[in-house]
Amino acid sequence: MKRKWKVSMVMILVLSMMMLSASATDAGASPQTMRIGVTVEVDSLSPFISYSQIGFEVFQLIYDSLVMLDENLETVPGLARDWEISDDELEWTFQLRDDVQWHDGVPFTSADVKFTYELLLENELGMYSGYLGGITEILAPDATTVVIRTEQPKANMLMNACPILPAHIWSEVTPDEYDTWPNSSPVGTGPFKFQEFRPGEYLKLVASDNTFHGRPGIDELIFVLYANTDTMAQSVVLGEIDAATNFSPSQLDTLDNNATIDAIAAVVMGFTQLSFNSWDDPSSTAHPLLQEFPVRHAIEYSIDKQRILDMVYSGQGSVGTTLVPPEGFYHYEPSESELRVYDVLRANQVLEEAGYMDLNGDGIREASDGTPLDFLLTLRADNADEVQAGQMIAGMVAEAGIKFNIETVDDGALIDKIYAGDFDMFIWGWGADLDPTTILNVMTTTQIGSMSDSNYSNKTYDRLFLEQQTIMDPDERREMVWEMQRILYEEAPYIILFYDNSLQAVNTSRWTGWTRIPEEGGYFFNLTNYNYLHVQPVAGVVDAAPDAGGGIGFAGMIIGGLIVAGVASFLMFRRRK
């Protein structure tokens, strides 16, 4: 009886060892699979519902838009092979490709374009409807021609990333279902076909043979969801995944120490800002002293942005100035006289000139009526970088006689505060588009109560915003966009702290042909699908997990520590004689 038990125990042990130690990969004619680690998963497969960046990334693989961006972020033909604009700049004619089929074999025609655009315009749903602003009419005179009419000239017509959806599938959906219809098996025209989405685990796409892009070098493309970046970094090193994005800065160096891993800090169209509550209504809870430009300027002068970047972000990113990030054509760089660089003396001087003195000697300056420069800085608790940056800022402004008290809340609670206008200032960031309209929109008066996170309002700015959208000449348009940024920089509803970097890593021993887009940009999440189409597998390499460096020491130390602890406790608890 007893022996039997022992034997079966041993059997179980041996069996489980066999099972576990065997290699996990099933060899065979294995497809070239690329696995990309991400930290956020698609919120929905419906372009009407999704608002996430990863959603944007996935849709541009499954679907196509009329035009797309190439590796230089220039507009190139997508579903439209050619286009022209009428002399009055109000009518666009797109000539569509005639050889495109949907993944299910149904031919693609101009009716699909008309259907998609009309659907979005009527329902104003999702992250893409904004691209279509100003369009009044869509015509499909024949199967390969689309005519789009606008009320006023539409400057960002060719920046339109709106995916074209199959009319034969979406016309089955009734209008009141648009908000919830999951589109759980999307059919597109794009270079990749949807295969499988397992929430909490991964999303799998496979290369489409039937696409005008030509067949990609990647057979299977899998976005693997990670709940934390530390194991994601290790997975890249171990070869469990081929690429990943969204690392924390200090992981970058560790990754870069591996010869086969290319870890980059990519500039992205995004920034981290300190937002002030600019609600000027006296009945609001906005702090009146924060409405004073000198106070805002003094705060900016006293913040050593570079030091925060170096310490908290391991030097990844660049010091921020104006609203439109520097990668684009529309970024305005303040002139020498306008620019506010770190200078504590200057900060003190600005405050003194504006009449803020520390009269009671507590180290905090007061306004003439005795109100101290004492503010509440709200930070997002689960963003360690922002919290630490906020703490450093609080230390820095103290040098100018300004007090920041720190409060942390979670994302949801912060949004509540912003909605209610119940805050002094907070830190978070925005991701922008190549076309400046998207980000400029956030600061317009009409966005108060929805997108605006500073309650900022300026009539000149609002007027310029509407006008710039209609200027077809890029240089002329840029003048306006510059003027808008100049206004914002002067009135400083935001202090743009940094232009963010996106930290990405790819395994170059598995895949080759990576291109950074733009020059200093990322391999993915760069508004294009270029790399997904152009990287090629390295010949002959199937499983090239490189060796982990320095890990043994760590494990040895822990095992050693455990042994020491065990021996110590054993000695301690030894039975008394």
Partner 1 sequence: MSSIDGVMRRKKLKRFWNGFKNNRMATTGAVILVFFSVAAVIGPVLFPYNPMEFGTVETILQPPSTTYYLGTDNLGRDIFRNLLSGARISLMVGILATLISMFLGTSIGIMSGYFGKTIDSVLMRVTDFFLVIPWLPLVLVLVAILGSSVWIIILVIGLTSWAGTARVVRSQTLSVKERPFIERARAIGADHSTIMMHHILPNVFPLVFANTILVTAVAIISETTLSFLGLGDPTRPSWGMMLHYAFQSGAASSGAYWFFLPPGLCVVLVVLGFTFLGYAFDEILNPKLRRR
Partner 2 sequence: MKRQYLAKKIIQSLVTIFFVLVFNYILFRVMPGNPLAMIMRNPRASQEAIERTRELFGLNQSWVVQFWIYLKHLFTGDLGISFLYRQPVTEIIVARIIPTVLMVGLAQILAIIVGVFLGVISAWKRGSRVDVAALGFSLVTYSMPTFWLGIILIFVFSVSLRWFPTSGMLTPGQSFSSTFAMVRDAARHLVLPVLTLSLVLIGEYTLTMRNTLLDVLTEDYMTTAKAKGFDDNYLIKKHALPNAMLPMITLIAINLGLVIGGTIQVETIFSWPGLGRLMFDALKARDYPLLQGIFLLITLSVIVANLIADVTYGYFDPRVRE
**Letter for the amino acid at 341?**
V
Contact 529, 214 (CB under 8 A): no
Contact between 409 and partner 1 by CB under 8 A: the answer reads: yes
How far are the Cα atoms of 159, 270, 451 from residue 322, in angstroms, in the given order?
22, 11, 19
Cis preceding linkage at 518, omega within 30: yes
Contact 553, 265 (CB under 8 A): no
Among 14-22, 68-76, 361-369, 556-564, which window interacts with partner 1 (CB under 8 A)?
A: 556-564
Closer to partner 2 at the Cβ: 256 or 358?
A: 256
Which residues ranging from 141 to 200 are in contact with partner 1 (CB under 8 A)?
none
What does the alpha-carbon distance between residue 103 and residue 56 come to, in Å, rounded to a whole number? 19
Contact between 22 and partner 2 by CB under 8 A: the answer reads: yes
Look up residue 522 and give its DSSP letter: B
Closer to partner 1 at the Cβ: 144 or 383?
A: 383
Contact between 231 and partner 2 by CB under 8 A: the answer reads: yes
Q: What are the tokens at 286?
A: 């906005």
Which residues ranging from 161 to 180 are in contact with partner 2 (CB under 8 A)?
179-180
Angle, in degrees to the nearest 10, between helices 474-491 and 293-302: 90
Angle, in degrees to the nearest 10, between helices 344-353 and 293-302: 160
Q: What are the tokens at 253?
A: 């160096």
What does the alpha-carbon distance between residue 276 and residue 493 come to, in Å, rounded to a whole number? 5
Nearest to 348 by CA among 301, 388, 396: 301
Buried b (16+ CB within 10 A) or exposed e, 178-191: beebebeebbbbbb
Contact 28, 180 (CB under 8 A): no
Contact between 39 and partner 1 by CB under 8 A: the answer reads: no
User: In the set 90, 106, 121, 311, which binds partner 1 (CB under 8 A)?
Assistant: 311
Look up residue 397 and give its DSSP letter: H
**Binds 82, which of partner 1, partner 2, none (CB < 5 to 8 A, cut-off by type)?**
none
Neighbours of 373 (CB within 10 A): 24
Contact between 58 and partner 2 by CB under 8 A: the answer reads: no
Closer to partner 1 at the Cβ: 285 or 371?
A: 285
Contact 505, 192 (CB under 8 A): no
Among 13-21, 160-168, 225-233, 448-456, which window interacts with partner 1 (CB under 8 A)?
A: 225-233
Contact between 571 and partner 1 by CB under 8 A: the answer reads: no
Q: With the CA atoms of 98, 103, 104 and 106 taken in that order, what torsion angle do they form, in degrees rounded to the nearest 10?
A: -10
Among 3-11, 294-302, 304-312, 337-345, which window interacts with partner 1 (CB under 8 A)?
A: 304-312
Look up residue 213 and give its DSSP letter: T
Closer to partner 2 at the Cβ: 7 or 558?
A: 558
Closer to partner 2 at the Cβ: 20 or 539?
A: 20
CB of 572 to partner 1, least distance (A): 6
**Binds 407, which of partner 1, partner 2, none (CB < 5 to 8 A, cut-off by type)?**
partner 1
Contact between 397 and partner 1 by CB under 8 A: the answer reads: no
Which residues ranging from 357 to 416 are in contact with partner 2 (CB under 8 A)?
382, 409-413, 415-416
User: In the set 93, 95, 145, 234, which binds partner 2 (CB under 8 A)?
Assistant: 234
CB of 269 to partner 1, least distance (A): 24
* Size of site (CB under 8 A) for partner 1: 46
Closer to partner 1 at the Cβ: 118 or 422?
A: 422
What does the alpha-carbon distance between residue 428 and residue 375 come to, in Å, rounded to a whole number? 17
**Binds 384, which of partner 2, partner 1, none (CB < 5 to 8 A, cut-off by type)?**
partner 1
Contact between 559 and partner 2 by CB under 8 A: the answer reads: yes
Which residues ranging from 235 to 264 are in contact with partner 2 (CB under 8 A)?
235, 237-238, 240
Nearest to 546 by CA among 228, 253, 263, 242: 242
**Binds 540, which of partner 1, partner 2, none (CB < 5 to 8 A, cut-off by type)?**
none
CB of 202 to partner 1, least distance (A): 21
Closer to partner 1 at the Cβ: 298 or 503?
A: 503
Length of the chain: 577
* Size of site (CB under 8 A) for partner 2: 87
Look up residue 546 and give its DSSP letter: P
DSSP β-bridge partners for residue 426: 275, 378
CB of 540 to partner 1, least distance (A): 29
Nearest to 434 by CA among 293, 327, 577, 320: 327
DSSP β-bridge partners for residue 319: 498
HSE-up of 82 (CA within 13 Å, CB side)? Answer: 4
User: In the set 200, 282, 361, 370, which binds partner 2 (CB under 8 A)?
Assistant: 200
**Binds 383, which of partner 1, partner 2, none (CB < 5 to 8 A, cut-off by type)?**
partner 1
Closer to partner 1 at the Cβ: 280 or 411?
A: 411
Task: List residues near partner 1 by CB under 8 A.
Answer: 228-230, 233-234, 237, 247-251, 253-254, 307, 310-312, 315, 379, 381-385, 387-388, 391-392, 394-395, 406-410, 412-413, 550, 553-554, 557-558, 561, 572-573, 576
